[in-house]
Amino acid sequence: MIHRLQLGKVPPKPHTTFYDDGKLLMEQCVTRLGFDGPFSILYYRTPPTDETAVEPMSLAGFCPVAAVRDQPLHRRHVRTQDLRHEGDFLTGRYRELAERVGTITTSRGAKGEMVRNTIVRLGTVFRISQIEANCPNVSRPMIRKVLEQLKRQGKVECTRRGPDAEWRKLG
């Protein structure tokens, strides 16, 4: 038997247009296991993703990042699940998160330059996983593209292939 709990106004059938006081409501399905597990269908008058303001962050013991003036709001995925944590669950990841957000760039070619700069800082022998750890917002295909460019330029070579591939800086 399906257990169902209904609160507030809901449409007769889910996933159909639903108006409240003449306004079309936004539907969002919240689930952890897809439609194979429990889920909730939420209806919003305004989308929960609307960004209305950017305010400076200030936390005790936190190194503030200088705000960039006149920067439009952008959605960013910073892979918070991959952040190392120190301290309690709430404030333990802010320092590294601020460092990562500080490295997010939007100009053309910036990600390739970020990979090149990371390779310069790494040791003579390095792996793609080390680059990924230092450039969390750069995809693996982009890292491979930069490595191939550097290989054609004679600056790096692949010394071992496969999942644990190693690269070595030349000259």
Domain regions of the chain by residue span: 17-48, 59-104, 110-169
Q: Which two tokens stand for residue 131?
A: 């680059």
Cβ(169)–Cβ(124) below 8 Å: yes
* CATH class for the region spanning 110-169: mainly alpha
On the question of pLDDT at 57 being above 70, the answer is no
Identify the pLDDT of residue 79: 60
Name which residue leads in pLDDT, 113 or 31: 113
Q: Give the confidence band of 77 by pLDDT, cuts at 50, 70, 90.
A: low
- CB count in 10 Å sphere of residue 101: 13
- First vs last C-alpha separation in the chain: 69
Q: Give the confidence band of 153 by pLDDT, cuts at 50, 70, 90.
A: very high
